[in-house]
Structure 1
């Protein structure tokens, strides 16, 4: 019976403050959508980093006829210089760090250029102008600097390139975007908390006579507070559900329906399983923040 009375009071409060409830729902919806987007974006960054870290290689390019590096003053790398790099890669010092080494000849490099650029643009080059290269896959990509330092100044080596460094600007940009989303979400959550507290206080003020009667008949503060807390929790729950729906729709239509087909060089995308993890997190955040905000607001009002 007491539960029924509490629910009746809560629903009555929602009807009396419908405009404020809608405001709470919308603010919670927007803020938690940003939170969900930030979580998914960070998950996407982690997925991409793990995928490319496993596949990124360190490329040791030998001197060619077009090389202008100070290490290439003698022209095209000699067979002895190439063998020296191969021996060092197979040596006891570097072998424990390396999982695989692939040697690319000039002919293979030219064939790759033709495949990437097409025969018309690739006609500017010839197989003789292409460099021979060693593609080194490391067991731990963070150790790439060891390879760079080992061959960076060696005669006959034009340059040593860590492929992962080309992706770092992308990861950095995405991380900054995540921080921006988190910042906006934090501001919106603060606005939602303040709005919930204001709504509860206005609702309590409108029902001050009822609260006074409840106190006179011996109702406990917990019994008086519970309907107001439920009002805030219900409004925040609706906003959380809408935010969850927006996150799921974004993954389904934005990632699966659009980005997978339009950005083919990224093969690892977040999916619905990631959205399914985010949904309960958003709902929990909404409910907990609303309960704390409403409980604090009504407790302070009852003390006045």
Structure 2
């Protein structure tokens, strides 16, 4: 009987406060969409870091014709200089730091360049003899790039030593900023959702103050009186959380898996499996926030 009474009270309250309940659902939906988006974006950033940092290399660029660098005063790197540089890279001094060395000649650099910019205006913009030869070095510890930079800083035939981590760090820094912006917006929207839930519960309690007073007089406990109000906020917030999860799944399925993945096949993008990990957390977060907000509001403002 008690359960039936509580269910009836909750359904009655939801019917009476349709506009406020819809507002709670929508605000919760929007806020949790931002929370889920921030979580998925951070998962994408972490996945990209793991993928690219394992494959990143240090490029030892050899002198091209006409380079103004002092170590290239003799012109384009000679075969003897190339052999000396390769011997140094594979020698005992650098053996503790170097994992793999690959020589990239002009033909290989030209092919990779055209593959990278295939279908764009840059494809074929540079002739093969204009490409720069280099040694691609994979380090045992990618953070020890400075050792190679210092080792070849004054070596004849070496124009520059470039660490690809620097380029990746700039990209990931931008992505991390976007994640922080999404988190900030999500927190702001969650605050709005909590305030709206509190306001809804206060109005609902005020409109039924006579009923709750009678229930108190006949010996109903505080938990029994407050339960319908708490469930009202939890249900509205739970519906918003479920809708947010469905929306994220649709965006990932149609936007990421369906559209973006076809245009960036070399990237391992977030998928429905990641959404399945995030969705339960969103539902729990929505329910917990609504429950806590409802209880705090009732204890503070509900006088029966």
The answer, yes or no, to whether TM exceeds 0.5 is yes
Q: Residues 298 and 126 of structure 1: is their aligned pair in 2 closer, same or farther, counting only changes over 3 Å?
A: closer
Q: CA deviation at 1:130?
A: 4.1
Q: How does 1:76-155 map to 2 (within 5 A)?
A: 76-113=76-113, 125=127, 127=129, 130-155=131-156
Q: How does 1:59-74 map to 2 (within 5 A)?
A: 59-74=59-74
Q: What's the counterpart of residue 32 of structure 1? A: 32
Q: Distance in 2 between matches of 1:113 and 1:269?
A: 24
Aligned CA RMSD, in angstroms, stands at 2.2
Q: Residues 214 and 185 of structure 1: is their aligned pair in 2 closer, same or farther, counting only changes over 3 Å?
A: same
Q: How does 1:98-247 map to 2 (within 5 A)?
A: 98-113=98-113, 125=127, 127=129, 130-247=131-248
1:225–1:299 CA contact under 8 A, matched in 2? no
Q: CA deviation at 1:106?
A: 3.8
Q: What's the counterpart of residue 18 of structure 1? A: 18
Of residues 130-139 and 187-196 in structure 1, the stretch that sits farther from structure 2 once superposed is 130-139
Long gaps (5+) in structure 2 = none
Q: What's the counterpart of residue 255 of structure 2? A: 254
Q: CA deviation at 1:9?
A: 1.3
Q: CA deviation at 1:48?
A: 1.2
* Length-normalised TM-score, structure 1: 0.91
Long gaps (5+) in structure 1 = none
Q: CA deviation at 1:122?
A: 5.0
Q: What's the counterpart of residue 281 of structure 1? A: 281
Q: Distance in 1 between matches of 2:124 and 2:215?
A: 86
* Length-normalised TM-score, structure 2: 0.91
Of residues 272-281 and 5-14 in structure 1, the stretch that sits farther from structure 2 once superposed is 5-14
Q: What's the counterpart of residue 5 of structure 1? A: 5
2:202–2:302 CA contact under 8 A, matched in 1? no
Q: Residues 116 and 41 of structure 1: is their aligned pair in 2 closer, same or farther, counting only changes over 3 Å?
A: closer
Q: CA deviation at 1:60?
A: 0.4
SS of equivalent residue, structure 1 residue 167 = helix
Q: Residues 93 and 226 of structure 1: is their aligned pair in 2 closer, same or farther, counting only changes over 3 Å?
A: farther
1:49 aligns with 2:20: no
4+ long deviations beyond 6 Å: none
1:72–1:156 CA contact under 8 A, matched in 2? yes
Q: Distance in 2 between matches of 1:227 and 1:126?
A: 75
Q: Distance in 2 between matches of 1:130 and 1:232?
A: 65
